[in-house]
Amino acid sequence: ADVRRVEDNEFFTWLDLYAGYGEFYETPITDEKALLVWSWITDPESGVEAYFAVDEEGTPIGIAHVREFCRPLDGSKGLYLDDLFVVPDARGAGAGTALLEELRTIAKDRGLSVVRWITAKDNQEARKLYDRVAEKTKWVTYDLVP
């Protein structure tokens, strides 16, 4: 699979994949949420970037949403991967790996120190890929809800 940036005129293509991602995590993607996230993706000031993995025909089969983040203790910046999704019938064909490797290249080219993400503990299929390409950390994630 090849990877390329999502273009401003690809809302509905992006939305199909984003909605599939929402279904996977049993989190419905409302119109309001979709339009908000799309506004971030299409606004260079927001810092949110979106990438497609595409098959041989150029059809998008996966998405990744990323943003840079500061790492004060490390004195560096990293690339945070918020969302990664590959359509079920394209899994195992290298789209997820292609997205992660492209993010690694982007981070290296920008002088960033890490590409970081979290996943669900029971997401075994994705974790097989993650264990192959990255290092599982010792850190535990917490959410403090305001």
CA 51 – CA 40 distance, rounded (Å) = 13
Q: For the chain, what is the mean pLDDT?
A: 96
| 116-136 per-position pLDDT tens digit | 999 999 999 899 999 999 999
Residue type, position 130, single letter: Y
Contacts of 78 (CB under 8 A, 6+ apart): 68, 69, 71, 107, 112, 113, 114, 115, 116
**Per-residue pLDDT for 25 more than 90?**
no
State pTM to two decimals: 0.94
Q: Are 46 and 38 in contact (CB under 8 A)?
A: no
